[in-house]
Structure 1
């Protein structure tokens, strides 16, 4: 399943803001986790949107954007939340 971007967003706008002409939406059919450094564990995310930027990814879970890395098996390991603003999360790449 390919998700829809948030309202007022297009893939062209994402590409322009990120400077990555090959940025793309990924299918949600994959395993996505975020590491919990304090607990030494991880939590499974239920992504609504996944954007890929040459191996780095932004994953939207609820209203929060997480940064992570696409693994060879298609799963994504995120390390931190970048807040609820997609533009700010893109600037954090």
Structure 2
């Protein structure tokens, strides 16, 4: 759906967090799947897709939920 031929399924063996709005803190996510494409990642946790990018240490830092529909989350790129 992303149109990225290099899209990939990533290992869940990494820290995945989402930023808390208006705070320097993060919430830890327990994703069921992590997709990587176009230099960004989508992680599915709690029936929502969270957008983010990989940090240098391999952890995934997400900035927001893009909803429960994968196609809509991809269009949000």
> Structure 1 length as normaliser, TM-score?
0.78
4+ runs of 1 displaced by more than 6 Å?
none
Indicate the residue corresponding to 1:12 in structure 2: none
The structure with the largest alpha-carbon Rg is 1
Aligned length: 77
- Comparing both structures, which one devotes a greater share of its residues to strand? 2
Long gaps (5+) in structure 2 = none
Structure number with the bigger relative contact order (C-alpha 8 A, sep ≥ 6) is 2
Long gaps (5+) in structure 1 = 1-16
Match of 1:28 among 12, 26, 29: 12
SS of residue paired to 2:43: strand
- Comparing both structures, which one devotes a greater share of its residues to helix? 1
Match of 1:44 among 28, 39, 64: 28
Q: RMSD of the TM alignment (CA)?
A: 1.0
Compute the displacement of 1:38 (Å). Answer: 2.7
